[in-house]
Structure 1
Amino acid sequence: MLTAADVAAARDRIRGHLRTTPLLQADASALQRDTPSRHAAAATVWLKLEQLQHTGSFKARGAYNRILTAAAHGQLTDAGVVAASGGSAGLAVAHAAATQAVPARVYVPETAPAVKRAKLADLGATVVAVGTKYADAYDAAMADIAETGALFCHAYDQPEICAGQGTLGAELLEQTGGVDTILVAVGGGGLVAGIAAATEGRAHVVGVEPATIPTLHTALAEGGPVDVDVSGVAADALGATRIGGIAHAVATRTGVTSVLVDDADIVAARTLLWQKFRLVVEHGTAAAPAALLAGAYRPAAGERVAVVLCGANTDPSDLA
C-alpha cells in the first residue's frame, strides 16, 4: 500500500534530477466566474506550475523513480526500459532513460501524431508504432518485455511511478506551509494516488475529471475500478479507460473525493489561464482549475487551496 514513507524515499532518490516547480498565488475570484454565487472572498489559491517540469509534465517524477529504483536493485539490463505511450508518459520515460544512458523503447499506436513520435526520437528513444489503438501498443510492449527482460514503466499503475508522482505533493506542502485542499486532474490516477499518499492527514485531495471520462468517480461509486467510455477534449491526456488499482486503494483509504467538469468548462479554464496568467496548459491539466471556474468545487471562506497544473504538452496555437 502506497504511503507517505514511500513518497519520502522517492523524493530522496530523485532529488537533483527534477526541477522544483514554482507556485503562483492568486485570489480565488480570479479563477471563478462573475456570478452572484461566486465566493469572491472564499480562498487563497496557489497554482502549482508543474507544467514547467522536464518534458512538460509531472510524469518525469515517476519515470525517474522507477528507473533509479530499478538501477539501485540491479534490475536494469542491456535490454533497457520499455513504455507504451505516445504522450507525456512516453516522453518522461525517454528523458529519464537518456539521462541515465539507458536504452528506451516506446510503443505507440500508428495513429500517434508524427510530432509526438519525433519528440520521442529526439530524446533518444526507439519509437515502435503498432496497431491503431493504445491497447495494441501496450500488448506489443508486454511482448517485448517477455522476450527481452526489459524494465516496463507503466503510465500510472506501478508503486514506484505513483510514489515518484507523489513527490509533487510533498514539495507543494513545503512551499505553501500547508494547504487545506488540493485539486488535481485524474486520468489513470498515478498523480492523485501519489499526492494523496504524500499528504495523507494533512490535506483533502479532490480529483477532478471530465464528465466524459469519470474513471475515479465511477470506481468510488462502484467500489472498485471499472471500465468507462472515453471521449472529449481531454481524452489525449486523461484517456485511461479505468482508474489504476493503486489509485483506487489510496483514494479509498485517504478520503479522496471526485468532482466532474464539462468540456466547455475545461476549454474555458484553459483559456482563462492563458488570458489572465499567460500560462499554457493542455486540456487535461485545465480540468483541475475548471472545478473552481464551474463551481464544481466551492472553497469555504479562508480555505487554502492548491491547484496542480500538471502538464503543458499541447498545441498553443488556439490560445489568443
Structure 2
Amino acid sequence: MKVPTSDDVAAAADRIHGHVRRTPVIEVSPGTFGVDAPLVLKLELLQHSGSFKPRGIFNRALTQDVPAAGMVIASGGNAALALLHVGRQLGHPVEVFVPETGPAVKIAKLRRYGAPVHQVGRDFAEAVVACERRAAETGALLMHAYDQPAVVAGQGTVGLELEQQCPDVDTVLVACGGGGLVGGIAAWFDGRVRVVAVEAAGSPTLAAARAAGERVTISVGGVAADALGASQIGAIAWEIAQRAIDDVVVVPGEAILDARQRLWDELRICAEPGAAAPLAALIDGGYVPAANERVAVVVCGGNSDPATLT
C-alpha cells in the first residue's frame, strides 16, 4: 500500500481546491480553558458536512473513474455524511453503511440527504464487512473512512492549511481513531513540526499498537466511539507513525466531555466528543507544553447535539 508523502498532500490540496472550505483558525490567550499556554484552534468542524472527512473523499473521488454504481462507504457517521455530500456535488450515486449503534444526530442528518443508509452490525467493523460485500455485488467504488492513500493525503490538507495560517506552530494535537487525519497531517509536516495523536481511553488504537510493536485489534467503547471507534489503527497511519507521529496521549472520557463543555462555555463551539479529545489532553495534563511552545489544536468535527451541552 502506498504511503502518502507531503508531495501527495500538496497535490491533493490543488485537486480539492474549490470543493472544500478553507476553515478558519482562532487564537486563544493563556489561561483559556485553564491551559497556561497560548493556543491556536483549527476549526475544521466548519467544513462541509461538519467534519474534515470531505477532504479525503473528494481527493479519492477525483482520482478515480467512478462507476455508474457510484460509491459506498462504511462509517461511524462522519465519513458517511461526507460521502453523501461529495456524491451530491459530483453527481454520483452513493450508499452508506453505519453501525446500529450510530448516534441519533448523525443518523438523522444522513437520512435528510435522501441516499440509501444501511444500519448494520453493532460496530464499525461489522459495517465494513457489509459495505465491502455491497461493493463486490454492485461494482461501486469502495471508499474507506481512513485507510486509503488518497483519503489520507486529502485529510493531510488540514495540516497544509494550518501551516499556511500559522507558520510558527511548534506542535499540533490531533484526534486519532483509525488515524487518517493524524496520519495525513503527519505526512504533510514530515517531522518539521511535532505531531501528537490524542486518543480516547475507550479506543486507543495507536497506543495499543505502539505497546505491542504492531497493529492490534482492540475492543471499542466510550464517549467518543462514534468518531474514534476504529478497532485497529489504519495500516497507512501506522506506517507514518513510525517516523512522523511524535507521541500519543490517551485521555479519559470524563476529560473529553469536560473539554467539550469548555469549548462551548468559552467560545460557543459545539464540538462532538472526539473533536474535543486534543483539547482534553491539554486540560487533563496528558500533554504539557514547554515554555513558549506554540500549540495548535485541531477541532475536527461538530456533528453533535447542542442539547447535550449545558
Separation of aligned partners in 1, 2:105 and 2:271: 18
Q: Residues 24 and 173 (structure 1 numbering): CA distance in 2 closer, same or farther, change over 3 Å? A: same
CA distance in 2, matches of 1:202, 1:130: 42
Cα displacement string for residues 221-255 of structure 1 (whole angstroms, at most 9, x for unaligned residues):
22221011212111111111110010011011214
Query: In 2, are the aligned partners of 1:32 and 1:295 still within 8 Å (CA)?
Result: no
**Partner Cα distance (1:260, 1:309) in 2:** 17
Would you say 1:100 and 2:94 are equivalent positions?
Answer: no
Deviation at 1:111, TM superposition (A): 4.3
Larger Rg: 1
Kept after mapping to 2: 8 A contact 1:86/1:106: no
Work out the number of aligned pairs and report it: 308
Does 1:30 pair with 2:32? yes
Q: In structure 2, how many angstroms separate the alpha carbons of the residues matched to 1:229 and 1:86?
A: 15
Deviation at 1:114, TM superposition (A): 5.5
Q: Is 2:153 the counterpart of 1:159?
A: no
State the distance in 2 between where 1:235 and 1:205 align.
Answer: 22
Matches within 5 A, 1:174-213: 174-213=164-203
| Aligned: 1:218 with 2:218 | no
* Residue identity opposite 2:25 in structure 1: L
Decide which moves more: 80-89 or 49-58. 80-89
Q: Where does 1:1-320 land on structure 2 (aligned, <5 Å)? A: 1-32=3-34, 40=36, 43-70=37-64, 75-112=65-102, 115-320=105-310
Per the alignment, residue 36 of structure 1 pairs with none
Q: Secondary structure at the match of 1:249?
A: helix
User: What is the Cα deviation at residue 124 of structure 1?
Assistant: 4.0
Kindly provide the amino acid, as one letter, of the partner of residue 40 in structure 2.
Answer: W
Give the drift of 1:20. Answer: 0.6
Counterpart amino acid of residue 24 in structure 1:
I
Aligned mates of 2:104, 2:56 — CA distance in 1: 25
CA contact (8 A) 1:56 1:312 kept: yes
Distance 1:198 1:204 in 2: 11
Secondary structure of residue in 2 paired with 1:168:
helix
Task: Provide the TM-score with structure 1 as the length reference.
Answer: 0.92
5+ long unaligned stretches in structure 2: none
Following TM superposition, by how much is the alpha carbon of 1:32 offset from its aligned partner in structure 2, in angstroms?
Answer: 2.6
Report SS of the residue matched to 2:38. Answer: strand
Residue type of the alignment partner of 1:147: E
Which amino acid letter does the alignment assign opposite residue 34 of structure 2? Q
- Matched residue of 1:31: which SS? helix
Q: Which amino acid aligns with 2:44?
A: E
Q: Distance in 2 between matches of 1:184 and 1:113?
A: 22
- Are residues 272 and 141 of structure 1, via their aligned partners in 2, closer, same or farther at CA, if it must alter by over 3 Å? same
Letter in 1 for 2:11: A
C-alpha deviation, 1:135, in angstroms: 3.1
How many angstroms apart in 2 are the aligned matches of 1:262 and 1:299? 19
1:258-315 deviation line (CA, Å, top 9, x unaligned)? 0111111111111111111111101111111001101111111111110000001111
Q: Deviations over 1:40-59 (max 9, x none)?
A: 3xx32100000000011001
Q: Please, what TM-score do these two structures have when normalized by structure 2?
A: 0.95
Task: Give the aligned CA root-mean-square deviation in angstroms.
Answer: 1.5
Aligned-residue identity in percent: 53
Amino acid at match of 2:75: S
Which stretch shifts more, 173-182 or 139-148?
139-148
**CA 1:185–1:114 in structure 2 vs 1: closer, same or farther (change >3 Å)?**
closer
Deviates more, 1:227-236 or 1:125-134: 125-134
Matches of 2:209 and 2:182 in 1, distance apart? 14
Q: Structure 1 residue 28: deviation in Å?
A: 3.6
Q: Measured at CA, do residues 113 and 270 of structure 1 come closer, stay the same or move farther in structure 2, by a change above 3 Å?
A: closer
Change (3 A) 1:264 1:215: same
Q: Distance in 1 between matches of 2:253 and 2:121?
A: 28
